[in-house]
């Protein structure tokens, strides 16, 4: 029998997709172990998978990142902040991730069972043995793309700059120069750090650029999205495949608010959300949106993602800690969001156009790519002015092209079944190694 091990960094946006995949693989009869942070033990065991905690420094709580790194607010959004996150949240844990994976592989070897390892984009614990370190190696490794594809290309600007693609001769010249600059200067210290950390684990072979390796190192890489939400790349590796988004539903249990009938009956609904990660300061997007739309003939629904009180709630606004998006989006005319990858894909999967304003984590790239599709307006800032939000919402409400493009993308999402594709990939690899 083959064991399936799923590995996730203990950060909500990285763990949640892995949990959904684990639940589906368990339902289909696979022998599944999930290794991630201890805080997610109950969530893993609730879906019937075996839980194995990450060891040492790899077992941190992603919710504590602001407290662990109080310097984060002073780091400018964009490549500098991205590099900081790569070093501290995804590279520093590698030695203990490696120890964890080695323990699970040794356990499986004792039982005479090969392992297929699936890990999300940011989990690099399988890299040491891939680059010369001693130890056991999985029979196969599958990467799961839970953030926009980070791989560089001659057809696109480097990840993290938020620039549109350009595959013209002049554009490719721009892209080659920018890719070199990003590798050597912007992320040069990050790459040096990765090399040192892997060497401390015993790695002896040359290491690829971190943003390329995330999708090139696994035997297969399944991007949890659709190709039209990404930039075309003529040099994309054959091992990379777009498999569609995971089904909607966060696993959170919450009833509908007492004012739900107003949502159902409202002629126009605008939803605003800062997601579940970058929702510490609601003056960044939620409050400006409420202020901007206070005199507009729409019902505004603010979903906060945590318990909180807002300074000002206009008469046309309703506020809730959580409303299930799979219930809310069918009634939504425009989503105003800071660009979380999962939320953007949920909206597009329902054909909902967007106004986006987010520059932290991977949001610079999410917002830029969504706007490039024609289904969103990207305000390209972390803290938009109320008048800019108002102008963008007015445009999306009155210009049909945004909803038409969102509908085209929704049809493309409907063509895919990510969970079935993941199951079929695992089954194929299992047959090869048994």
Which of 277, 242, 81, 36 minimizes the C-alpha distance to 151? 242
The model's pLDDT over 121-143, given as tens digits with 9 standing for 90+, comes to 999 999 999 999 999 999 999 99
What integer pLDDT is reported at residue 275 of this predicted model? 83
pLDDT of residue 80: 87
253, pLDDT greater than 60: no
How far is Cα 434 from Cα 424, in angstroms, rounded to an integer? 15
The number of residues making up the chain comes to: 434
* b/e 192-201 (16+ beta carbons within 10 angstroms → b): ebbbebbeeb
Mean predicted confidence (pLDDT) in 207-230: 97
Closest CA to 136 of 103, 87, 174, 177: 103
Looking at residue 254, its pLDDT comes to: 64
- Encode pLDDT of 71-96 as tens digits: 988 888 788 889 999 999 999 999 99
Collapsing DSSP to helix, strand or coil, 377 comes out as strand
What residue ranges in 158-252 does DSSP mark as E strands? 220-223, 240-242
pLDDT digits (tens, 9 = 90+) for 323-368: 999 999 999 999 999 999 999 999 999 999 999 999 888 999 999 9
**Rounded mean pLDDT, 370-376:** 97
Please, what are the domains in the chain?
3-244+416-433 (3.40.50.2000), 260-414 (3.40.50.2000)
Tokens of 61: 């709580």
Q: Does residue 250 register a pLDDT over 90?
A: no
Query: In this structure, what are the phi and psi dihedrals at residue 139, rounded to the nearest 5 degrees?
Result: -65, -30
pLDDT tens digit sequence for 99-120: 999 999 999 999 999 999 999 9
CA distance 385 to 433: 56
Q: How far is CA 278 from the centre of its chain?
A: 13
Looking at every residue in the chain, the average pLDDT score rounds to 95
Q: Check pLDDT > 80 for residue 153.
A: yes
| Closest to 271 (Cα-Cα) out of 315, 204, 216, 319 | 319
Greater confidence, 432 or 349? 349
């Amino acid at each position: 029998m083959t064991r399936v091990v799923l590995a996730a960094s203990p950060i909500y946006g990285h763990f949640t997709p892995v949990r959904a995949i684990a639940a589906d693989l368990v339902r289909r009869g696979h022998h599944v172990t999930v290794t991630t942070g201890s805080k997610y033990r109950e969530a893993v065991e609730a879906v019937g998978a075996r839980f194995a905690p990450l060891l040492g420094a790899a077992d941190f709580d992603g919710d504590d990142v602001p407290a662990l790194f109080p310097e984060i607010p002073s780091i400018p959004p964009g490549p500098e902040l991205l590099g900081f996150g790569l070093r501290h949240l995804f590279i520093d844990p590698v030695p203990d991730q490696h120890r964890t994976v080695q323990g699970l592989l040794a356990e499986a070897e004792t039982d005479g069972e090969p392992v297929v390892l699936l890990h999300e984009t940011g989990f690099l614990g399988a890299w040491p043995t891939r680059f010369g370190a001693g130890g056991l190696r999985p029979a196969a490794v599958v990467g799961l793309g839970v953030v926009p594809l980070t791989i560089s290309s001659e057809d696109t600007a480097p990840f993290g700059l938020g620039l549109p693609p350009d595959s013209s001769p002049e554009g490719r010249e721009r892209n080659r120069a920018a890719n070199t600059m990003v590798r050597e200067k912007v992320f040069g210290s990050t790459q040096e750090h990765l090399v040192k950390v892997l060497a401390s684990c015993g790695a002896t072979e040359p290491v690829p650029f971190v943003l390329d390796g995330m999708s090139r190192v696994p035997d297969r890489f399944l991007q949890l999205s659709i190709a039209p939400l990404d930039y075309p790349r003529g040099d994309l590796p054959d091992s990379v495949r777009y498999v569609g988004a995971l089904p909607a539903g966060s696993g959170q249990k919450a009833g509908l608010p007492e004012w739900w009938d107003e949502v159902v009956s409202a002629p126009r609904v605008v939803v605003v959300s800062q997601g579940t990660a970058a929702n510490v300061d609601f003056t960044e997007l939620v409050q400006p949106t409420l202020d901007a739309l206070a005199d507009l003939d729409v019902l505004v629904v603010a979903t906060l993602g945590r318990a909180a009180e807002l300074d000002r709630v206009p008469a046309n606004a309703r506020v809730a800690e959580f409303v299930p998006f799979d219930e809310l989006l069918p009634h939504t005319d425009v989503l105003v969001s800071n660009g979380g990858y999962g939320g953007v894909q949920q909206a597009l999967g329902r054909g909902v156009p967007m106004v986006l304003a987010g520059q932290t984590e991977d949001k610079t790239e999410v917002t830029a790519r969504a706007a490039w599709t024609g289904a969103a307006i990207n305000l390209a800032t972390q803290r938009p002015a109320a008048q800019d939000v108002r102008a963008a919402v007015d445009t999306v409400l009155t210009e049909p092209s945004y909803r038409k493009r969102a509908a085209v993308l929704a049809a493309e999402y409907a063509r895919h079944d990510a969970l079935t594709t993941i199951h079929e990939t695992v089954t194929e690899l299992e047959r090869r190694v048994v």
